[in-house]
Amino acid sequence: MLMRLLSTVLFLTLATATAHAATRAPQVHVSGTALAAFFASQGQSINVNTDQLDLQTVTVAVGTAFEVHTFGPEASGTSFGTYNANGNKKTTPARYTLFPAAVTPGWYTTGAFRNGPNRLIVNTFDANRVMQGTNTFNGANAANFALFNTGPNGTFYLEDARNAGGAARILAFAGTGTRAGWTWFACETSSGAGGDFADYVTVVNLGSTTTPTTRTAWGQLKALYH
């Protein structure tokens, strides 16, 4: 499980603040040692059974930019993205894919929230930082959104209420050390209740000044986020 976890870590840089989120109560039991071992391997001082954050939705400023990277073959089976958190929790929301399941290893994406109209712009780059495509998701709301992942066992949400039986499927943790100011999202994708939450992990850097760096012409760069 640990080797599978290490090969499916998804790194993002995004923008806003979850650093002040309260501790989740009650905490969700995390079975086994896979998640704890993963955090330790990343230099994180996180107790997986006591340090969970009470984080169900995220709010960022319009203009927030982020970058998404995946590592290892396991990431190819899971897509990751955002959805608007408002509305009926029992209705499947429109989902905006930040990183698709089938992406060439070494590729990454960047994105930004815009308004007039509200939208999320996602750009895909290859390993040489050459842009390979762009997608615009109209309706994406920076003021109230959450995260999801979709894989072979279905789709799971950061908001407990959207998961079957109201179960927690994505746990949030504050980063420590070199990851201070970041937020980890640990996902459980098995069909049963509970689990080790080591099936899929993301780490998000929430900072409104994040800007992507790419090797591209100035005219092309200006066009990326408009």
Mean pLDDT computed over 60-81: 75
Residue 86 is part of which domain span? Answer: 2-223
Q: Tell me the chain's radius of gyration from C-alpha atoms.
A: 17
Cβ count near 13 (within 10 Å)? 19
> Does residue 145 surpass a pLDDT of 90?
yes
If one compares 206 and 45, the residue with the highest pLDDT of the two is 45
pTM over 0.85: no
Mean pLDDT computed over 201-211: 58
pLDDT over 70 for what percent of the chain? 78
Query: What whole-number distance in Å separates Cα of residue 174 and Cα of residue 185?
Result: 9
Helix/strand/coil for 21: coil
Would you state the pLDDT for residue 110? Answer: 79
Residues 6+ apart with CB under 8 A from 112: 63, 64, 65, 66, 120, 121, 225
Query: What whole-number distance in Å separates Cα of residue 4 and Cα of residue 102?
Result: 17
> Does residue 85 surpass a pLDDT of 50?
yes
Distances (CA, A) of 42 to 23, 33, 59, 175, 180: 22, 14, 27, 10, 12
| Type and span of the H or E element at 36 | helix 34-41
Query: What whole-number distance in Å separates Cα of residue 182 and Cα of residue 147?
Result: 15
Is cis: bond before 117, omega within 30 of 0?
yes
Query: What whole-number distance in Å separates Cα of residue 226 and Cα of residue 222?
Result: 7
Would you state the pLDDT for residue 14? Answer: 47
> What is the domain count for the chain?
1
- State the DSSP code for 92: P
- Mean pLDDT (the chain, rounded): 80
| Type and span of the H or E element at 48 | none
| Type and span of the H or E element at 172 | strand 170-174
- Provide the token pair at 99: 């990183």
If one compares 163 and 21, the residue with the highest pLDDT of the two is 163
Query: What whole-number distance in Å separates Cα of residue 201 and Cα of residue 213?
Result: 24
Query: What whole-number distance in Å separates Cα of residue 32 and Cα of residue 67?
Result: 31
